Amino acid sequence: MKAPSRKTITASIFFGFLLLFIGGLFWYFGSGLLSTGSSGVDSTVEDRGFTFFPFGRGGSTNPTTPINNGSGGGDTETNTTGGGTGDINTNGEDEIQIDRLRLVAEVPTAGGYVYRRTIVNDSLFNVVPQTEAAMRFVEVETGHVYETTDSTLTNTRITNTTIPRVYEAEFIDGNSVVLRYVDPTSNTVKTFSSTISQEDTNQNIEGVQTFQKLQGIFLPEDIQDISINNQKEILYTQASADGMVAVVTDVLGQNKKQIFSSPLKHWKPDWSGRSETITMTQYPSSVAYTVSQTLNRTTERTAPFVAGAQGLDVLLSPDGSRALVSYKTGQTISLYVRNEQGEYTDTGLDTYAEKCVWSGDSILVYCAEPVGRISADAPDVWYQGLESYLDDVWRINTDDVTSKILFSPFDEGQYSLDIIDLGISADEQYLYFRDKENQYFWTYQLEL
């Protein structure tokens, strides 16, 4: 038999080494090259701890990095129980579709707020400042502040200050909020005027998360009620030996001044506008005839406003020129517009003034009206939680006192909402409110 030639031997050795080389590659990268990804195991190549190629270290070519879904600063904790009722559709890239009527927080909230803020513009070609609508709310159970925006469905926790069982949160602006809760030790009502301030870093099992703090001061104990105007002044009422007093202070609890006193102990203040006028109205009742009076912040003088009505409630316009007045008429609660001359015009709606909010022009009003009949025992049974409503939302022009339905939560998504704490953003692009039944926080976009 003829011996193989030198060329044949050389070729055999070459191909033998080539097969060994290829086999070594398959042995080294095995699972990474052969895996189809259907087993549920991460197919990213594991770092084996040595340099295979002279230009770098072997290992993962797709490292994971933390993603910050919020704008509260730093790595944040997200809450996926709320954030919206929209869907996410993929057409080449993710496109978030957010419903006009949006469930922001599917957890009990003590209060919420919507405002517009400037965002960082990284574009070299478009130097026009960009803005976004931010929605913030306070969780009842922990007192933590969460936020989302008009471009995401994710709620992000931004504060780490825990205050259990907050039952009321009144936002002064996007970064300041007054929290009210019952102290479990002293069983007294605490009122904490706070600002969302510097970062607070805490270590947990997942690593370092960066949150912000709530810093502020405590106002006097056992405050009965508060009202905040758009000049960031706080008015609070407090029981006294002779009845009740009303005090005005700034957000830091300084420059306090008593401007009202009464031998009667139960007055509901409203100073939501920008005028000097405050309304002091006795808490409404279906069986008692109550009164409302105006209080001038500067002169401290009072004047009769509405007298002798059952179920009385008053909501003054921002400029103080008009007011919404609701009271019991027959077997229901009717809503009227009161002009500067003291003349009343029926809006045609049966609802409470506190279910409404004025626009900044003191002309337009947005009101939630129960679809069904308000009972003869209202508003007492409503406050006690014995009666609840399914509301529609109306827009009223108080110049000619005409009303038009704006939206029906039931028609939007078969939602049964008993609307409370109705507010409007400063740019008047959003209404925001809570549902009385479960205290969930909602928004509605006015302009698309």
- Output the six-digit token pair for 419: 């609307």
Cis peptide before 318 (omega within 30 of 0): no
- Pair of tokens at residue 92: 């080449």
Q: Which residues contact 166 (CB under 8 A, 6 or more apart)?
A: 110, 138, 139, 140, 143, 179, 180, 181
Cβ-contact 336, 347 below 8 angstroms: yes
Query: What is the four-CA torsion angle of 47, 53, 57, 63, rounded to 10 degrees?
Result: -70
CA 403 to centroid of chain Cα atoms: 27
- Give pLDDT tens digits along the chain (448 positions): 444 444 444 445 455 555 555 555 444 444 333 333 333 323 332 332 322 222 222 333 333 322 233 333 333 455 545 555 444 343 444 678 899 999 999 999 999 999 999 987 766 676 677 899 999 999 999 999 999 999 999 999 999 999 999 999 999 999 999 999 999 888 999 999 999 986 655 555 455 668 999 999 999 998 999 999 988 999 999 999 999 999 999 998 889 999 999 999 999 999 988 889 999 999 999 999 999 999 999 999 999 999 989 999 999 999 999 999 999 998 899 999 999 999 999 999 999 999 999 999 999 999 999 999 999 999 999 999 999 999 999 999 999 999 999 999 999 999 999 999 999 999 999 999 999 999 999 999 998 6
Q: Strand 302-310 and strand 289-296: pairing? A: antiparallel
Q: What is the pTM of this model?
A: 0.78
Q: How far apart are CA 222 and CA 183, in angstroms?
A: 10
